[in-house]
Amino acid sequence: MITAPVIAAVDGSDDSLRALDWAVDAARRHAAPLRVVHARQYVPWAQPEVLIAGPREPDDDPVLDLVRHRLAGHTGDLAVDCVAPAGPPAVLLPELSSEAQLLVMGSRGRGGFASLLLGSNGMAAARDADCPVVVVPQPGREVHGEVPDGPGPRVVVGLSVDGPDEAALAFAFDEAALLGARVQVIAAYPWPVTGLGGPGALVPPGVDQDAIEEETRALAEGLLAPHRKANPDVLSEVHALPGDAAGRIVAASRDAELVVVGRHRRRLLAPARMTGSVTQAVLLHAASPVAVVPPSAEEK
């Protein structure tokens, strides 16, 4: 049986090379081959001699030469192959993801606007890929807020008790098992809650915050039960926290091994693939690598 590869998307930038390092470790953890992809985009305004020459072979690609130099002596018996297909990365990478178990990218590449924290190719891959996409952030990204207590390495996963993402939960437990980490589940609930008390007036309803928190925790514990049963050696804990889900997950990303979020399922009125506002915010601001997990076939 052929093992699907871990794909590392590179463009020669420092961000993509950091993602390459992460992908090497991931391929080892998954006992999978590593495929390094440099998507070469040829456009009408390129230099005439480049257009005449056409796409270069993988053995004649300066970016892949840089990759080979970086990997020399560090891959051991890891199977590595390098490819340099021609075309827009935002189209090619999702296409290649259909034959991969992970697609790993840097948070920024050579293209895009300087004001964007996540390049357009990364956002497109997170939205369209068939496999989980891991985006490795730039080092030193600061996040604010309290991090839930607990010793040892952590895999953080966001959980909406109103619409749980089973694929994201399963991925978080599987990765935690490979990383020797515990799963830290962030189940945020809206607080404070307000209700309309007349024209233009907002008044707090008679809702007990402790009751909401306990109900959120109980629902989360129930949703985790099958994943705990399937992964008895992986420790996990639920943190039911008030406020914005994205902010809570970003705060928990500090010093985490990985943050896992789900991609939006298709809706009747929004049949196109979407990443969702929480997922986008986490991709833009988290301090640790972020895995965006597509829904399972049953959840689509």
Our CA angle for 30, 14, 35, nearest 5°, is 35
| 61 and 176 belong to one structural domain | no
Indicate whether 163 belongs to any domain: yes
Per-residue pLDDT at 297: 64
Could you tell me the CATH number of the domain that includes residue 56? Answer: 3.40.50.620
Same domain, 243 and 132: no
Looking at the structure, do residues 132 and 256 belong to the same domain, yes or no?
A: no
pLDDT at 114: 34
Backbone angles phi, psi at 241, to 5 degrees: -130, 145
pLDDT for the residue 299: 57
Residue 226 inside a domain? The answer is yes
Q: What is the CB-side half-sphere exposure of residue 55 using CA atoms within 13 A? A: 13
191 and 260 in a single domain? The answer is yes
299 part of a folded domain: no
Is 141 exposed, middle or buried, given 0-12, 13-18 or 19+ CB atoms closer than 10 A?
Answer: middle
Based on the fold, state whether residues 185 and 86 are members of the same structural domain.
Answer: no
Q: Is residue 42 part of a domain?
A: yes
Give the Cα separation of 144 and 249 in Å (integer).
11
Q: Alpha-carbon distance 67 to 65, whole Å?
A: 5
The verdict on 160 and 285 lying in the same domain is yes
pLDDT band at 188 (very low <50, low <70, confident <90, very high): very high
70 and 180, same domain (yes or no): no
| Mean pLDDT across the chain | 83
Nearest to 238 by CA among 247, 246, 230, 248: 248
Q: How many domains, the chain?
A: 2
Task: Give the per-residue pLDDT at 270.
Answer: 41
| Residue 90 confidence class, pLDDT cut points 50, 70, 90 | confident
Distance CA 132, CA 115 (A): 26
In a domain, 35, yes or no: yes
For residue 117, is pLDDT > 90? no
- 42 and 165 in a single domain? The answer is no
235-280 pLDDT tens trace? 999 999 999 999 999 999 999 999 999 986 544 344 444 456 888 8
* Residues 136-147, mean pLDDT to the nearest whole number: 86
Q: At residue 102, what are phi and psi to the nearest 5 degrees?
A: -150, 145
Would you list the DSSP string of 146-194? PPPP-SS-EEEEE--TTS--HHHHHHHHHHHHHHT-EEEEEEEE--S--
In this structure, is residue 112 part of a structural domain? Answer: yes
Whether pLDDT at 49 is above 70 = no
Whether residues 253 and 159 fall in one domain: yes
What is the identity of the amino acid at 69? Answer: H
Residues 165, 281, single domain; the answer is yes
**Is 149 contained in some domain?**
no
Residue 203 placed within a domain? yes
User: Looking at the structure, do residues 80 and 165 belong to the same domain, yes or no?
Assistant: no
124 and 169 housed in the same domain: no
Burial, 34: exposed, middle or buried (Cβ in 10 Å; 0-12, 13-18, 19+)? buried
Residue 189: which CATH number? 3.40.50.12370
pLDDT of residue 150: 74
Band of pLDDT at residue 76, cut at 50, 70 and 90: confident
Across the range 190-212, mean pLDDT stands at: 67
Domain range for 215: 154-293
**What are the pLDDT digits (tens) for 53-64?**
344 455 678 999
Neighbours of 231 (CB within 10 A): 17
Report pTM: 0.84
